[in-house]
Structure formats: C-alpha cells, structure tokens
Amino acid sequence: MATNESDGGKEKDVQLARLVLALRSQGVTDAGVLAAIEWAPRELFTPDLFKERAFEDSALPIACGQTISQPFIVGLMTQALQVEPRSRVLEIGTGSGYQTTILSRLSRLVYTVERYRTLMGEAEARFKQLGLTNIITKFGDGGLGWPEQAPFDRILVTAAAPEEPKALLSQLKPSGILVAPVGKRPVQKLIRYLGDGNGVFRSEVMTDVRFVPLLPGVAKEP
C-alpha cells in the first residue's frame, strides 16, 4: 500500500503535469522554460496558508503585502526574455525568489534586487536550500538597476514600472532584451524591449498584466 508521503508526491506530480499542460496550451512552449518550471518546487516559495494552492495557475500573497507571480506569467516573461546558458541576467523584484529560481536554471548568473529586507532574507534561504549557487542578491532600490554589474544580457522587471524604465535600459547590452510590466495600477502592459545591436530598443506590447508597483527606495520595516 502506498504511504501518505508517496500519495502526496503523486498528487503533486499530477498537479504539476496539469499546470505545465495549461501553460503549454496558453503559448508557453519553450522546452527549457517548461523544464525549469517542472523542476522548481513552487510550494517552497508559497506561504503555509496557500501551500495546497502552490500548483494552481494563480498569483498568491506572500509576506510584506507582495505576491508570487502566476506561473503562466512567469513562463511567458521568461520565454520572452530568450535567456541563453551564457546570459548574465538582472532581475528587479526578488519577492519569493520563484522567478529568480527559474532564471537561475536557464542562465549563467542572476543578479536580483529586492527592496524588502525580510523577503530578500527568505529568498536567500530558499536559494541555499535548493543549492542554487549562481544567484547574487542585493537589498536595495532596483529601480536604479545595478550599475556596478552592468551591462546585462537580459533584464526582467517583476514589479510595474510607472513608465519606460530608462535607467534599466541604459544598463542593457546593445543587443539585449528587457521585459517589464509598464503602467499604473491596476492594469499594466507587459512590454518587451529588443536591442538592435546599436543601442536602439524596439518595444513590443505583449499583453495586459497586474503587478505590484515598482516603488522608489527601500521599504521601511518594523
């Protein structure tokens, strides 16, 4: 007879397979991206209260009034970023660290910035637990990017920039790609900026999204 534990594992496998199928049917078809999503234990990034919903295709609340993104949006953004094994990637808005984990599986190095010290600490513990050694974290204002480490091959912004993120675009390689939600609450446009190799960036509107805002400065915590 199967133990509870193996039942739980099987149930999780079924939920994950269902999630991957749902993502694929919505256009996330990149094999590398789907493999990274299958690998990442999303329940580890989800608060206890919502753990049983970890493999639903929905955004969920995390600490500090923030959210872990919907898996479909994570898949869509990662696919649009066209990360390569040699890419150095900058991510703004570490949050739970789920998206960072997906990026770390697909690229050489991920630099990630978060304005809540608590979230940064929790995400760092998860990266350690998962044995991810190619993630470099910073507690700070990601709206300013990470000039000391620029230029980056790819930049992913996971909080909504009120307007075109010029400071971040200036830290992108001439042929780089930046993906960001742009606009005010409640609905933003997901935009992909593609470099032409000469530092001119063409923008493409992908879809409507709802992200928490990219806020200036670091968060004051009790």
Active site residues: 69
User: How big, in percent rounded to 5, are the helix, strand and coil portions of the chain?
Assistant: 40, 25, 35
**Residue 188 contacts ligand SAH per CB under 6 A:** no
Q: How far is the CB of 36 from ligand SAH (least distance, A)?
A: 13
**Residue 37 contacts ligand SAH per CB under 6 A:** no
Where b means 16+ CB within 10 Å and e means fewer, 118-138 reads: ebbebbbebbeebebeebebb
Query: What whole-number distance in Å separates Cα of residue 63 and Cα of residue 43?
Result: 15
- CB closest to ligand SAH, residue no: 95
Binds ligand SAH by CB under 6 A, chosen from 98, 111, 127, 146:
98
**Residue 87 contacts ligand SAH per CB under 6 A:** no
Give yes or no for a contact between 102 and 129, defined as CB atoms under 8 angstroms apart: no
Query: What whole-number distance in Å separates Cα of residue 42 and Cα of residue 34?
Result: 13
Nearer to ligand SAH, 32 or 213 (CB): 213
Give the Å distances, CA to CA, from 27 to 34, 141, 196, 215. 11, 33, 25, 31
Query: What whole-number distance in Å separates Cα of residue 205 and Cα of residue 214?
Result: 19
Q: How far is the CB of 113 from ligand SAH (least distance, A)?
A: 5
Binds ligand SAH by CB under 6 A, chosen from 43, 44, 47, 67:
67
**Residue 90 contacts ligand SAH per CB under 6 A:** no
Binds ligand SAH by CB under 6 A, chosen from 66, 79, 104, 171:
66
Q: How far is the CB of 212 from ligand SAH (least distance, A)?
A: 5
Nearer to ligand SAH, 55 or 98 (CB): 98
Contacts of 25 (CB under 8 A, 6+ apart): none
Q: How far is the CB of 94 from ligand SAH (least distance, A)?
A: 6
Of 100, 179, 182, 188, the C-alpha closest to 136 is 100
**Residue 137 contacts ligand SAH per CB under 6 A:** no
Q: How far is the CB of 84 from ligand SAH (least distance, A)?
A: 20
**Residue 215 contacts ligand SAH per CB under 6 A:** yes
Binds ligand SAH by CB under 6 A, chosen from 23, 92, 106, 135:
92
E strand segments, 69-171: 88-92, 109-114, 135-139, 152-157
Give yes or no for a contact between 206 and 192, defined as CB atoms under 8 angstroms apart: yes
Name the site residues for ligand SAH (rule: CB under 6 A): 66-69, 92-93, 95-96, 98-99, 113-116, 119, 141-143, 158-159, 212, 214-215
